[in-house]
Structure 1
Amino acid sequence: MHRGKRMHDHDQDDDSLISKSQLKREAEAQQALGTKLVNLSAGKLEKIPLDDELRAAIALAQRIRNKREGYRRQLQHIGKLMRNRETGPIEQALHELEHAHLEQNALFHQLEKTRDAILSQGDSAIQQFIDAYPHADRQKLRQLYRQAQKQQQQSKPPAAARELFKYLREVASA
């Protein structure tokens, strides 16, 4: 009879209770976030807002990565530490790091397309690049274009094409 009363109390508070499964999913998500942090390089980890205790736990996990059982327990410990903290700023910083990487890749691919366009179209593609980046040196672009054409005709390695790409990246990054 007493047991039935407890069940009835749970039914009333059902909306405010979190299931064990939900708690486990949240714990696994926190541990996964901790694993992402452990896999970051030191330079990227510095950009993440972490307290000293969490930073030390991550550093220890990075040092004992080769110790299978110890590493697993340390990841669990990091997950436990993460559950007691507000992870919003950490997740935001991680997202920004990942997004910056995607932006770099997109710029890289765009510059490859621009280089190929310059090599195939010449002055019209150079003008399009100058329109997008007015501080670019038209004379240098034309010179690299002519050198690349000459190297291609002579079946030489595309050193000027690589130099052109480096210059485009330099201009676009400035």
Structure 2
Amino acid sequence: MRGRDEDTGEFLAPSRSQRRREALDVLALATTLAGLEPGRLAKLPVPGHLLPHVAEARRITSHIARKRQLAFLAKQMRREDDEVLDAIRDALDAGGEAAKQETALLHRAEHWRERLLDDGDAALGDLLGEHPHADRQKLRQLVRNALEERHRNRPPRAYRELFREIRDLLSGANAGDGVADEAAALDD
């Protein structure tokens, strides 16, 4: 029994139902962790002593044994502070947002590639207007090669390379490189 405070009449501890709901939330978090690929799991703020339990849950394929291991993992996780579990949940939510942003970036890159192949120099001018640090000559050459591949029914090597170049350009990966190159040229 939970008991009540004699002075205020308030309950001293959470109800059994509340404790069960919290335990099931932790079990759901444990199941999510066990379902993640190792690279994504490494990016999360999971305490080191829980990682072997997560790895063991990933390794087990038998339904009942896996369920038992997930329950054990959840038990170990319930021993952690609420701040640790909240940090893991927040990182998982942020990962979902990051995945959405990555998908949007890929769609934008695909859109620009198709536009460059369809519209040619007009689309290249628009792209360079948005990203003046881009390498005009390299983009023009990749567009030319991709069109030639398409015309001759060749494997899409330049087509893929054009996509990678646009994706890097849109993500800003090349932005710092271009500034560094300009600064180095000014120093010479």
Q: Is TM > 0.5 for Structure 1 vs Structure 2?
A: yes
Higher RCO, 1 vs 2 (CA within 8 Å, ≥6 residues apart): 1
Percent identical pairs in the alignment equals 37
- Label 1:63 to 1:121 Cα distance change in 2 as closer, same or farther (>3 A): same
Aligned: 1:122 with 2:120 = yes
Q: How much does 1:151 deviate? A: 4.3
Aligned to 1:3: none
Aligned to 1:111: 109
CA deviation vs aligned residue, 1:116-137 (integer Å, no higher than 9, x gap): 1112222221122112222211
- Label 1:81 to 1:137 Cα distance change in 2 as closer, same or farther (>3 A): same
Distance 2:48 2:138 in 1: 50
Distance 1:147 1:46 in 2: 39
Distance 1:146 1:70 in 2: 57
Unpaired runs of at least 5, structure 1:
1-5
Distance 1:151 1:75 in 2: 51
Q: What number of residue pairs does the alignment pair up?
A: 164
Distance 2:121 2:68 in 1: 61
The AA in structure 1 aligned to 2:153 is K
- C-alpha root-mean-square deviation of aligned residues, in Å? 2.6
Distance 2:159 2:57 in 1: 44
Q: How much does 1:56 deviate? A: 2.1
Matched position secondary structure for 1:161 = helix
Distance 2:37 2:159 in 1: 32
Is the CA contact 1:130–1:138 (under 8 Å) kept in the aligned structure 2? yes
Aligned to 2:87: 89
Is the CA contact 1:141–1:164 (under 8 Å) kept in the aligned structure 2? yes
* Correspondent of 1:100 among 88, 98, 107: 98
Is the CA contact 1:148–1:158 (under 8 Å) kept in the aligned structure 2? no
- Label 1:52 to 1:137 Cα distance change in 2 as closer, same or farther (>3 A): closer
- Label 1:107 to 1:162 Cα distance change in 2 as closer, same or farther (>3 A): same
* Correspondent of 2:51 among 55, 58, 77: 55
Q: Structure 2 matches for 1:138-149, cutoff 5 A? A: 138-149=136-147
Choose 155-164 or 51-60, whichever is displaced more. Answer: 155-164
Deviation above 6 Å: which 4+ runs of structure 1?
none
Q: How much does 1:145 deviate? A: 2.5
Distance 1:51 1:162 in 2: 40
